[in-house]
């Protein structure tokens, strides 16, 4: 007790304490673990084939070339078709946009009705819908093939849109219902006293208040549908294959030389859309996920 310091003011926090070293050390290791594959992919995609054959996968490219990217986008062959990934990209966009809009539109109205306009059996209905989320997709694949065939939508992009809309329904409805339940009930009552009906309250009170949850739903759906492989390969024909299926066909082709650089570039291109969505809307996403936890 030589120099007893009188505790006063902010508590001193040493920068290199044992806890901090442990904490940041772990974080750095984990971050490196996840970043390394991405690094390898980017580096490889910028190398020419001769350089790749040398085998130093961690080495940065000696000669940077964008050739693999161009090839992946516009020239890579799947079967007899040599248009590259671009065709798959536009197919995916055509599938994505109507699926996202349709599924979110229906699910938000569902959630709103289940949260605010409780009817006899609405809880049972909701339970059944949620149970649907736990049934493995594989069980429903064949029945859906038959249903789509009977409707004349099998092998059609709209058939796939319908499938995505249906499979998005349980989780999205749950998301919206829980969000709308967190909106104070008195607001809903006030709107009713003010003479707003089902759609009036939905469009003019609830919608403007729920931007964050819509962003969450859009992110979930865009990434989910963009990354979908199974439904894409089952419910469409080769001309309409989404990007993921086409990527698989490029990467897994058994003939000829494995063009690792093209494969890496193709994979990065395919992953670009979800990545951009995350970066562009990260803040809103967090806000939407946290919504309901704090009343605002």
Site for other proteins in 146-185 (CB under 8 A): 184
Show the site string, 202-241: x = touches other proteins by CB under 8 A, - = not.
--xx--xx--------------------------------
Q: How far is the CB of 196 from other proteins (least distance, A)?
A: 5
DSSP lists the bridge partners of residue 109 as none
Q: Considering only CA atoms, which of 93, 32, 49, 122 is closest in space to residue 225? A: 93
Closer residue to other proteins, CB minimum distance, 212 or 271: 212
Phi-psi region of 255 (alpha: psi -120 to 50; beta: other; left: phi over 0): beta
Angle at 198 between CA 116 and CA 163, to 5 degrees: 80
Q: How far is the CB of 175 from other proteins (least distance, A)?
A: 20
Rg (CA), the chain: 25
If one asks whether residue 187 binds other proteins (CB under 8 A), the answer comes out as: yes
3-state helix, strand, coil in the chain (%, to 5): 70, 0, 25
Among 37, 186, 254, 293, binds other proteins (CB under 8 A): 186
If one asks whether residue 294 binds other proteins (CB under 8 A), the answer comes out as: no
Q: How far is the CB of 191 from other proteins (least distance, A)?
A: 7
If one asks whether residue 118 binds other proteins (CB under 8 A), the answer comes out as: no
Among 200, 258, 283, 290, binds other proteins (CB under 8 A): 200
Closer residue to other proteins, CB minimum distance, 87 or 192: 192
If one asks whether residue 191 binds other proteins (CB under 8 A), the answer comes out as: yes
Residue 48 CB neighbours (<10 A):
15
Please state, in angstroms and as integers, the Cα–Cα distance from residue 201 to each residue in 31, 103, 207, following that order.
Answer: 46, 20, 8
Among 3, 195, 254, 255, binds other proteins (CB under 8 A): 195
**SS3 label, residue 81:** strand
Q: How far is the CB of 223 from other proteins (least distance, A)?
A: 28
Among 118, 149, 189, 258, binds other proteins (CB under 8 A): 189
Residues near 58 by beta carbon (within 8 Å), at least 6 away in sequence: 39, 40, 43
Closer residue to other proteins, CB minimum distance, 1 or 193: 193
Residues near 71 by beta carbon (within 8 Å), at least 6 away in sequence: 84, 259, 262, 265
Q: How far is the CB of 136 from other proteins (least distance, A)?
A: 37
Place of tokens 């996403």: 285
Quote the distance between the C-alpha of residue 17 and its chain's center.
39
Q: How far is the CB of 194 from other proteins (least distance, A)?
A: 3
Closer residue to other proteins, CB minimum distance, 136 or 195: 195
- Residues engaged in binding other proteins (CB under 8 A): 184, 186-187, 189-196, 200, 204-205, 208-209
């Amino acid at each position: 007790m030589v120099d007893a310091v009188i505790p006063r003011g902010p508590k001193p926090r040493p920068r290199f304490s044992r806890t901090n070293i442990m904490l940041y050390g772990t974080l750095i290791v984990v971050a490196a673990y996840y970043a390394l594959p991405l690094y390898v992919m980017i580096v490889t995609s910028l190398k020419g084939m001769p350089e790749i054959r040398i085998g130093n996968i961690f080495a940065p490219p000696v000669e940077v070339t964008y050739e693999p990217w161009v090839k992946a986008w516009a020239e890579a062959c799947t079967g007899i078709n040599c248009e590259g990934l671009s065709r798959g990209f536009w197919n995916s966009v055509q599938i994505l946009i109507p699926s996202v809009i349709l599924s979110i539109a229906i699910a938000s109205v569902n959630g709103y009705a289940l949260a605010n306009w409780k009817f006899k059996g609405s809880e049972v209905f909701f339970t059944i819908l949620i149970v649907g989320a736990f049934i493995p997709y594989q069980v429903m694949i064949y029945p859906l093939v038959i249903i789509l065939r009977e409707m004349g939508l099998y092998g059609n992009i709209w058939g796939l849109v319908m499938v995505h809309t249906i499979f998005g329904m349980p989780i999205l409805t749950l998301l919206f219902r829980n969000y709308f339940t967190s909106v104070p009930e008195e607001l809903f009552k006030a709107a009713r006293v003010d003479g707003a009906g089902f759609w009036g309250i939905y469009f003019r009170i609830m919608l403007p208040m729920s931007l964050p949850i819509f962003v969450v739903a859009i992110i979930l759906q865009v990434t989910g549908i963009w990354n979908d492989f199974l439904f894409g390969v089952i419910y469409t024909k080769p001309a309409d294959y989404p990007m993921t299926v086409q990527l698989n066909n490029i990467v897994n082709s058994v003939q000829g030389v494995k063009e690792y650089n093209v494969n890496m570039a193709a994979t990065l291109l395919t992953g670009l859309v979800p990545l951009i969505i995350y970066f562009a809307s990260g803040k809103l996403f967090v806000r939407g996920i946290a919504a309901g936890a704090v009343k605002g």
